[in-house]
A and B are shown apart, each in its own frame.
Chain A
């Protein structure tokens, strides 16, 4: 049996985490999961980082001239261009003989699974030494909560309304982690901002990979999802506990599940606790649970646990 990565590596403890802030003083909303994902990641990657952030929430709140929220090097990329710009940054730095740096991208779900997918695919194909972090808040939040390819089925957004005829988003969330893994990526992982120790360990691992790393971090958004701003961490944890999100890794061509709930917490509580799902009826929830269970039976059959 393949030893899970998280058992074979030293865990990062909160005490070891840098006091320095590399993303601070920005304008993100209270309770923003995405900004937490960036803040923690840059504490791991440190000052020799080039952060590439496409058009989206994090660039909108972090780069408003003359107030810059990044204390490491940072640049906004075009919306589709996170990965291609990362490749260019890494290639340029390498060609200039710069050593010990991290080229790290932070793109949202739309910037990753929709408009940025082509460039991400290319970078993984080249095995460029970059770290790509998708902070997934499950819709185009910066433009006001529109459906993305990672919006889960049933979620109400401003472009997938819940009305008389339709009940929110009609399509399943794209399996980005598996899509990336199918490229034979050097390292991929899922995480949440509600499970920071797991996330930090994966960030630390990604920083040591000689190739392309992809971390898909689940990052709840109180504004778009409709929950109290104090509950971001709890909502993120609940997603894992109820089995609608999972913590896993892909390395050396193998999938590893990092955390298997003994039994799932109530998915109804998770879903109906957010206003974006509150219109769902019993049957809709049942369909979502059936899809979840099918996914878990595949995971348990095919991945190392």
Chain B
């Protein structure tokens, strides 16, 4: 391994640094807060030729993803980034990219959705698009953001996967927070991530029709293949992480990360930056003899259902803390966790859904302590609790 450089970067800048190292051919860019500094840094890299890529100033997020799909359809490696309203504006193209099996890599800065208008972080944008066929991963800090970008191309472009990948960073909390980040060398990234080669492309020597129509007799077969590809991504993600760890010395735990779940009675399940607030609370309560634990979901798709069951099966009560609500029911993460537990052969633990952080509402360490206290209280029949 070449010596890595230590640099002080925001989450967005770490993403841009990761993108440069991954050598995309085409970047399509349309600004939206809090994603903007990603595309600003990339524009500077293209300007100073430290990144050789076609940089398209598109006129909308729909066009950003449409252009990436077009470039991917001729075999190019592509990148775009968005957030919130922009992600919704691309919704049609999200399904298009996954259905056409174009391994576009995109960063999403998790941000609240209008109305009311709000630029701060919650995860309703990406979670409302969980069913669009993309691999969805949630970073916890700048280092993980950078590493995920590099891993994302290896995962998305894998021939068994060929599925676009969305790397989610909590708006401002991750995108704009500066941290010391280890920047891998270009040589190491090149060795880790070979150029994108695919047969799923328009080729002048072997012409193809892509993104075609498939009627009732064929359509479902394509959808089944697509489902299998995302399911099989679980294995590929672990393989890529192992290879990544060997080369760069940073090891990632697969689809989810657990802390003290082996013997924990009370566990909080969450995702994204708030895990960084939960972790020291868990350590503190542990030091006081409380058997508490943490599950940080990294990948929402493919969903780590076996891992969830393994981590939570022995708990008395589990709280799912998420910055999301499916109005009229419960949080989407909760629905997924609950569904995974329902498949367990044993009586599942009591489950509570803590909904917080909407529109950037602060979640403090004290709040987290209260959540653990709440988990210890007897069942009062409530499931969804706004914090």
Binding site for B on A (CB under 8 A): 47-48, 50, 52, 59-60, 62-66, 68, 70-78, 80-81, 83-96, 98, 101, 118-119, 121-122, 125-126
Interchain CA distance A84-B96 in the complex, whole Å: 14
Closest chain A residue, CB of each to CB of B202: A73
Which of A47, A73, A88 meets B71, CB within 8 Å? A88
Q: Are A75 and B92 in contact (CB under 8 A)?
A: no
- Minimum CB–CB distance from B212 to chain A (whole Å) comes to 4
Which of B55-63, B125-133, B143-151, B159-167 touches A?
B55-63
Of residues A47, A48, A72, A87, which shows the largest number of chain B Cβ atoms within 10 Å of its Cβ? A87
Which of B26, B207, B212, B215 meets A91, CB within 8 Å? B26
**Does B75 sit within 8 A of A, measured CB to CB?**
yes
- Cross-chain pair count, CB within 8 angstroms: 157
Contacts of A47 in B (CB 8 A): 204, 207
**Does B213 sit within 8 A of A, measured CB to CB?**
yes
**Does B329 sit within 8 A of A, measured CB to CB?**
no
Report if A95-B54 is in contact (Cβ < 8 Å); known contacts: A73-B202, A118-B60, A125-B59.
Answer: yes
Contacts of A75 in B (CB 8 A): 70, 73, 202, 209-211
Q: Are B215 and A64 in contact (CB under 8 A)?
A: yes
- Minimum CB–CB distance from B72 to chain A (whole Å) comes to 7
Q: Are A72 and B207 in contact (CB under 8 A)?
A: yes
List B residues 35-66 near A (Cβ within 8 Å). 53-54, 56-60, 62-64, 66
Q: How large is the interface on B (under 10, 10 to 19, 20 to 34, 35 or more residues)?
A: 35 or more
Interchain CA distance A98-B57 in the complex, whole Å: 22
Which of B92, B204, B213 meets A78, CB within 8 Å? B92
Contacts of A60 in B (CB 8 A): 213
Q: Are A95 and B25 in contact (CB under 8 A)?
A: yes
Interchain CA distance A90-B28 in the complex, whole Å: 13
Interchain CA distance A75-B26 in the complex, whole Å: 18
- Minimum CB–CB distance from A47 to chain B (whole Å) comes to 7
Q: Are B71 and A92 in contact (CB under 8 A)?
A: yes
Q: Are A119 and B73 in contact (CB under 8 A)?
A: no
Interchain CA distance A73-B206 in the complex, whole Å: 8
Extra inter-chain contacts (18) besides given A74-B207, A85-B67, A88-B67, CB under 8 Å = A50-B74, A59-B213, A75-B73, A75-B210, A76-B211, A77-B66, A81-B69, A85-B66, A88-B69, A88-B73, A91-B54, A92-B74, A95-B26, A95-B76, A118-B63, A119-B62, A125-B59, A126-B57
Contacts of A86 in B (CB 8 A): 70
